[in-house]
Amino acid sequence: MGKQTIDVLVEGGKASAGPPLGPTLSPLKMNVTEIVTAINERTRDFAGMQVPVKIIIDENKKYEIKIGTPPTSAMIKKAIGAQKLLSFTEDGKRIEPGDISLKEVVKIAKSKPNIAGNTLEKKVMQVLGTCLSSGVTVDGKNAKEMQQEIKAGEIKIE
């Protein structure tokens, strides 16, 4: 059989033996409850967000669970308490979804190991880019303005 990899998206801390996990794992004679419990323990901090999970099963029925991080936009939505990000009224006016603190942006950047950039500052710039395209302001400023202040050295990222 070799190794088999199962990729799923689950709500943080709320995986269940129902679809997609149960029907996928049961035919492989895996202990679904044990795997679901392990996933829920490891995704609890991402409650309310969709979390990518990879389950790798070898020929001896041993498994490894790899937990990804939710999309940056989902983390921003949770931080500002919004249901959705940038939207528009019927007459085309932008509806700004909210404001996030730079401290929260840094926290998101630190939690995303696979985000582009080899320094924290570059990762923060990526998260700010998502804020910009999503219409989210940062400490009351446009995210582009915040990026420029960081590039100019006016704001230090630590």
The verdict on 76 and 60 lying in the same domain is no
CA distances from 108 to 24, 35, 71, 95 (A): 32, 27, 10, 23
Q: Note the pLDDT of residue 145.
A: 95
- Rounded to whole angstroms, the Cα distance separating 28 from 71 reads 30
The verdict on 123 and 100 lying in the same domain is yes
Under DSSP, is residue 37 helix (H, G, I), strand (E, B) or coil? helix
The verdict on 10 and 44 lying in the same domain is yes
Supply the pTM of this predicted model.
0.75
The verdict on 80 and 29 lying in the same domain is no
CATH of the domain at 99: 1.10.10.250
Instruction: Give residue 76's domain range.
Output: 72-151
126 is a domain residue: yes
pLDDT tens-digit profile of 101-153? 999 999 999 988 888 778 999 999 999 999 999 999 999 999 999 999 999 99
Q: What is the DSSP letter of 156?
A: -
Q: Note the pLDDT of residue 95.
A: 81
- Domains identified in the chain, total number: 2
Domain boundary, last residue among 23, 47, 67: 67
Q: Note the pLDDT of residue 154.
A: 93
